[in-house]
Homo-oligomer: A and B are copies of this chain.
Amino acid sequence: MRTVQLTVFWCFLVWMPGALGWSAMNGVLWPQPQKVIRSAEAFTLPRSGFRIEHGPGSAAGANCSVLQNAFRRYYLLILPRRVGVNHVKSSRKSLLRLLVSVKTAKHCAEYPNLGDSEAYHLVVQQENATLTADNVWGALRGLETFSQLVSEANDGSLIVNKTIIDDFPRFSHRGLLLDTSRHFLPLYILFQNLDAMSYNKFNVLHWHIVDDPSFPYQSVMFPELSNKGAYNPATHIYTQMDVAAVNEYARLRGIRVVPEFDTPGHVQSWNKGQPGLLTKCYAGTKPTGSYGPVNPVLNSTYNFMKRFFTEISHVFHDHYIHLGGDEVDFSCWRSNPVIKDFMAKMKFGTVYRKLESFYIKRILDIVTANKKGYLVWQEVFDNNVTLKADTVVEVWKNPHFDVELSRVTATGFRAVLAAPWYVNVIGYGQDWRRYYMMDPQNFKGSEAQKKLVVGGEACIWGEYVDATNIMHRLWPRASAVAERLWSDGSVNNTTKAYPRLASHRCRMLMRGIPAQPLFVGFCEQEYTGGWAKR
């Protein structure tokens, strides 16, 4: 090895005493549940005969789409099809059934909401294991945990130890931000990520769907937005069917889809299909031909936004829409004579943050009228825009995000932390350890304030990733964030986490997620990229 980085040597030392290879299915859990009691006693899952079924007392039954779909999915993950593996005679007792019971079936045909229970109670015992949960979302989390408990013995049989697990998430918003504007991400990448998210108990897809470079969302009301603003309107777009498919694929995994339509900045691509929406920039008395943020002084702007966000409110089903509001550059507004007149008329002086707030307030009102809540980037809060009580403020600025968390929660708003988890910003070595050490409640504030931090997000901005590299760059690095957001705060030792995460990574490979290696070593079943295993 010819690198001078000390971290490498240090990691090597950590790694050397352990095993070189990580079994892909060895019963390791990720993220770590709140409470686990495992016994040495093990049961066999018969490859023919094992079933996942509704428990006798469950409120849900065969018409519960979420559970029916999950039973099949986890059956296939737990009992992968293999050629040549026959029934193995074992002296162990058999586990014949996992019985899944929920107290209410009301979410079976609904979308998950921020704050919904995801708690579950799992008892693996002979001969029926039981999984009980408040609702189907908790059942999904428990199914994932159960699937992770099952491992393959040397004789080819599937085994699971006698286990009792009580589990619930530490935070209720555990998000992943995907950016489909800087590079278009095909649907299969969104689906693959939703799968990977479910394997890591993430529950929010923050879909940063449009931005400056391209507008791939195909609007019904304003089709010219993508006709003119997409990289290629024939191939680089999300149709209404696509969005519906993503919403449903996510729902079946208990994952919320929160779309972001960021304004008034980050909107260059909007102007192509909606001319006049953006502010014309001036040099002296003449337009330069370039455009700045949304033009906030025209009625046409708000007429458009009202129709546009009304569509969005119906197309996306989560209670929340992310309205952006970050990084607004005032220089173009300052150059424009009509904007300057408006500033004078409104008595804003030269404080363009007041103009920004004026704009944002009206957008918030539009969204509120559609009975939706909103998330905003921290600038909206920083600029003292009046916000609804259920607003969630997303904190993204480094390095003083702890101060910002204090401020946001002191005002009584809920916060989501993204700043330390910009996983697009890669570095050499095991940067997952840095992500893992961050704690969203590590700031000065009361217990009540700490509780207002509802979670965090791993963000992978799209400058340098597309379908070629986004999967391995995200996984398993985002898994570190997943455990931080689910498990107890005391689960924060990277040395202890390493072998579990390495094993979890091999399991993701087995499940078709091309997660990259943490460090030197191997998986029993390596990635084959669709090639024959040779």
Q: A residues within 8 Å of B by Cβ?
A: 1-5, 8, 20-21, 182-184, 186-189, 211-214, 231-232, 235-236, 266, 326-327, 377, 396, 398, 422, 424-429, 459, 461-469, 472-473, 509, 514-522, 524, 526-531, 534
Contacts and interface: CB of A to CB of B under 8 A. Distances in A.
A74 to B, nearest CB: 23
B517 A468 contact: yes
A5 B398 CA distance: 12
A6 to B, nearest CB: 13
B472 A468 contact: yes
Contact of A211 (B1, B187, B529, B530): B1
Contact of A186 (B326, B398, B469, B534): B534
Given A425-B3, A463-B519, A509 B188 contact: no
A225 to B, nearest CB: 16
Given A21-B232, A427-B427, A467 B186 contact: no
14 contacts: A1-B211, A1-B327, A2-B327, A3-B425, A182-B520, A183-B522, A231-B522, A424-B428, A464-B516, A466-B517, A467-B528, A468-B515, A468-B516, A469-B516
A517 to B, nearest CB: 5
A181 to B, nearest CB: 9
| Main secondary structure on A side of the interface with B | loop
A15 to B, nearest CB: 9
A214 B20 contact: yes
B461 A526 contact: no
Contacts of A235: 526
A534 B188 contact: yes
Contacts of A377: 2
A396 to B, nearest CB: 5
- Nearest 3 pairs of A and B residues by beta carbon: A469-B472, A231-B522, A469-B516
B466 A516 contact: yes
A213 B466 CA distance: 32
A466 B529 contact: no
A14 to B, nearest CB: 13
B461 A1 contact: yes
A514 B466 CA distance: 10
Contacts of A424: 3, 428
A186 B526 contact: yes
Contacts of A520: 182-183, 213, 462-463
Nearest to A179: B1
A235 B24 CA distance: 15
A3 B460 CA distance: 11
Given A231-B20, A527-B468, A529-B188, A4 B522 contact: no
A183 B518 CA distance: 11
B186 A528 contact: yes
A509 B468 CA distance: 9
Given A3-B425, A522-B231, A527 B467 contact: yes
Given A20-B231, A520-B463, A182 B422 contact: no
Contacts of A530: 529-530
B183 A517 contact: yes
B534 A20 contact: no
Contacts of A266: 1
